[in-house]
Amino acid sequence: MRENEQNLTEDRAQTVNNVRNLGFLAALCMSLTILSSYIVVFSPQFQDRNHWVLGTIGTIACFYAAFKALQPLCEINLVRPFHASWIFWVVMVATAYFKERFYSAEFMLIFFTLFTLSAISWTILNFRLARVTQNQLFKIYVYMFILSVLSGYIAVFAKAQIGSALHWANILITATSQGLLVGAWYDVDDVDDVD
């Protein structure tokens, strides 16, 4: 009986370790992909979007694997807000593709609505991760993420020029937010079975 309990504990520890590694890799991939969009602004030679598409696919695949492995260890549903966030995001990217060709107020409204819905789902997911992992860095990340979304909206609506103080503030807030996400995943060491 004790040997079975020890095996279950070891299996759980291995699962948590795998989840942490996958989440860390996904967060790192996501951060590099997001921050590369700022590099493109300053360096036109990085305009090729293949790295961006590959980074996004890698991010989604690693996060999906992490949440699928983590879900059986907790009662809180993590997969549903993950799916919602990325579905809204993928549709938003498709909308952005058309927005470049058919610029109109309707497309902008759809784009920002989808982005906001994706951000809300992502926020819910990370608050749940904070509860499940008892890692407060996820909560701090959420607040910084919300701030980065707001700073991004302000930069867009204020038509901030590249290199302006508002543009640099947005980059700094976004980079800090992404750094917190990477750190939060790196710090995952256990999962509590909370409902």
pLDDT the model gives residue 43: 58
Average pLDDT over residues 153-173: 83
With a cut of 70, say whether residue 103 has pLDDT above it: no
Q: Check if the beta carbon of residue 191 is closer than 8 Å to that of residue 74.
A: yes
Residue 155, token pair as written in the block = 């930069």
Q: 73: which DSSP letter?
A: G
CA 15 to chain centre: 21
With a cut of 80, say whether residue 106 has pLDDT above it: no
CA distance linking residue 159 with residue 104, whole number of Å: 17
Q: Return the higher-pLDDT residue of 67 and 11.
A: 67
Q: Return the higher-pLDDT residue of 11 and 193.
A: 11
Q: Check if the beta carbon of residue 85 is closer than 8 Å to that of residue 121.
A: yes
With a cut of 60, say whether residue 111 has pLDDT above it: yes
pLDDT, tens digit, for every residue of 24-66?
A: 999 999 988 888 777 666 555 555 566 777 888 889 999 999 9
pLDDT the model gives residue 136: 93
With a cut of 90, say whether residue 191 has pLDDT above it: no
CA distance linking residue 174 with residue 103, whole number of Å: 26
pLDDT, tens digit, for every residue of 112-148?
A: 888 899 999 999 999 999 999 999 999 999 999 999 9
Q: 48: which DSSP letter?
A: -
Would you say how long the chain is, in residues?
195
CA Rg value for the chain? 18
Q: Which of 5-14, 68-77, 137-146 has the lowest mean pLDDT?
A: 5-14
Secondary element (H or E) of residue 87: helix 79-101
